């Protein structure tokens, strides 16, 4: 592991601890913790959060793909954010995934596939409406969710990844387009990094992190296959995209906006904050912050407006 990634883990953990200090599980949320969804006993665990008053009712689902520069994070640091989404009427699946550099790409994508398989297999048990599945991802999680959404709808991308990483088993996921189980209906991409090769000046440390994240340290093939912009097609799910003035990755947003316009992908773009109140990278994860609450209200409303009932198109 690079010294930078080690420092990221320490600094991010300290910041998250301050952000969530004193928070407890809300009385109006029911949670199911530490459910295995894969073979890795440390990383392949997830929680499910539901409104306590929902009983056994089947609810639309939000899956969380956490951020952390590909080298940090787990479901624990996203639990309060996840439960706040459950309070807005969703069943939330909050999962950890294997981190770099101990597990390099595409391990993270494999785990996301496995988590969505779990959703498809456990809908009845946990009251998950698998006809209405959505996902949120921020920062590095926005990048990974962006790739996963492309994997679901782009057969050419699936083949290219399978050819590059034949042992990864990325062709088995039940969430792929046309599946009779889970279909990803819409995603929220929050303060994300969508291209690992464009606008690297916004993050001069990125090449070091790529050395930890990517198997070949950032070869031409890898940068293409991990570039969300290159993998979009017209079947991509609808997108809620957001950033803010204080987001150091805010210049990534125009890149994916242009790509979505070029491909005819429906999306909604929101720019929160102002020069006076610039907010900060992934501000929406702070459940105490009013602009974060507003952003989460907007995203959940975006998803709810796309929920369909049985028999609807």
Q: Is residue 261 in a domain?
A: yes
pLDDT reported for residue 251: 94
C-alpha to C-alpha distance for 181 and 188, rounded to whole angstroms: 21
Q: Which structure tokens are listed for 118?
A: 């779990």
Q: Which structure tokens are listed for 229?
A: 């912009």
Q: Is residue 311 in a domain?
A: no
Q: Is residue 31 in a domain?
A: yes
Q: Is residue 313 in a domain?
A: no
Average pLDDT of the residues in 213-225: 94
Average pLDDT of the residues in 50-66: 97
Q: CB neighbours (10 Å) of residue 2?
A: 14
Q: Secondary structure of the chain in the HEC alphabet?
A: CCHHHHHHHHHHHHHHHHHHCCCCCCCCEEEEEEEECCCCCCCCEEEEEEEHHHCCCCEEEEEEECCCCCCCCCHHHHHHHHHHHHCCCCEEEEECCCCCCCCCCCHHHHHHHHHHHHHHHCHHHHCEEEEEEEEEEECHHHHHHHHHHHHHHCHHHHHHHHHHCCCCCCCCCCCCCCCCCCCEEEEEEECCCCCCCCCHHHCCCHHHHHHHHCCCCCCHHHHHHCCHHHHCCCCCCEEEEEECCCCCCCCHHHHHHHHHHHHCCCEEEEECCCCCCCCCCCHHHCCCCHHHHHHHHHHHHHHHCCCCCCCCC
Q: What CATH number is attached to the domain comprising 231?
A: 3.40.50.1820
Q: Is residue 156 in a domain?
A: yes
**Residue bearing the bigger pLDDT, 31 or 312:** 31
pLDDT reported for residue 203: 75
pLDDT reported for residue 171: 73
Q: Is residue 312 in a domain?
A: no
Query: Domain containing 83: what range?
Result: 3-304
pLDDT reported for residue 201: 63
How many folded domains does the chain comprise? 1
pLDDT at 177 over 70: no
What is the CA angle 298-300-301, rounded to 5?
65
Q: Is residue 298 in a domain?
A: yes
pLDDT reported for residue 179: 53
Q: Is residue 248 in a domain?
A: yes
Residue 239: pLDDT band by 50, 70, 90 thresholds?
Answer: very high
pLDDT at 205 over 90: no
Instruction: Tell me which residue has tokens 């150091």.
Output: 248
pLDDT reported for residue 311: 46
């Amino acid at each position: 592991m690079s010294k930078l990634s080690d420092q990221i883990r320490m600094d991010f953990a300290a910041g998250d601890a301050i952000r969530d200090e004193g928070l407890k599980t809300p009385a109006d949320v029911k949670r199911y913790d530490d459910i295995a969804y894969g073979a890795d006993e440390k990383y392949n665990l997830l929680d499910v959060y539901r409104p306590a008053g929902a009983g056994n009712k089947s609810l639309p689902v939000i899956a969380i793909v956490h951020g952390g520069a590909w080298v940090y994070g787990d479901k624990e640091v996203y639990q309060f954010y996840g439960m706040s989404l459950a309070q807005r009427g969703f069943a939330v699946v909050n999962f950890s995934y294997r981190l770099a550099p101990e597990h390099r790409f595409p391990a993270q994508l494999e785990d996301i596939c496995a988590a969505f398989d779990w959703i498809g297999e456990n809908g009845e048990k946990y009251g998950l409406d698998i006809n209405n599945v959505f996902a949120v991802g921020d920062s590095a999680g926005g990048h990974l969710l962006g790739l996963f959404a492309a994997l679901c709808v782009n057969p050419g991308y699936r083949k290219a990844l399978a050819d590059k990483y034949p042992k990864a088993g990325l062709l088995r996921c039940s969430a792929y387009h046309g599946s009779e189980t889970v279909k990803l209906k819409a995603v929220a991409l929050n303060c994300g990094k969508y291209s690992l090769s464009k606008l690297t000046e916004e993050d001069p440390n990125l090449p070091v992190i790529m050395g930890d994240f990517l198997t070949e340290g950032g070869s031409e093939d890898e940068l293409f296959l991990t570039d969300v912009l290159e993998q979009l097609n017209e079947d991509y799910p609808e997108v809620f995209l957001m950033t803010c003035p204080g987001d150091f990755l805010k210049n990534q947003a125009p890149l994916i906006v242009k790509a979505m316009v070029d491909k005819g992908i429906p999306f909604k773009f929101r720019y929160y904050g102002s020069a006076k109140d610039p907010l900060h990278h992934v501000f929406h994860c702070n459940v105490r912050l009013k602009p974060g609450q507003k952003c989460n209200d907007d995203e959940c409303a975006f998803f709810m407006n796309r929920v369909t009932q049985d028999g609807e198109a």
